[in-house]
Amino acid sequence: MGEAAAAVMKIAEKALGEVQESEEILASLEKILEILKSAKEVL
The domain ranges of the chain are 1-43
What's the pLDDT at 28?
Answer: 96
C-alpha 35/C-alpha 43 separation (Å) is 12
Q: What is the pLDDT along the chain (43 residues), one digit of tens a residue?
A: 699 999 999 999 999 999 999 999 999 999 999 999 998 888 7
Q: What is the pTM of this model?
A: 0.59
Chain centroid to CA 40: 27
Helix or strand or coil: residue 1?
coil
C-alpha 40/C-alpha 32 separation (Å) is 12
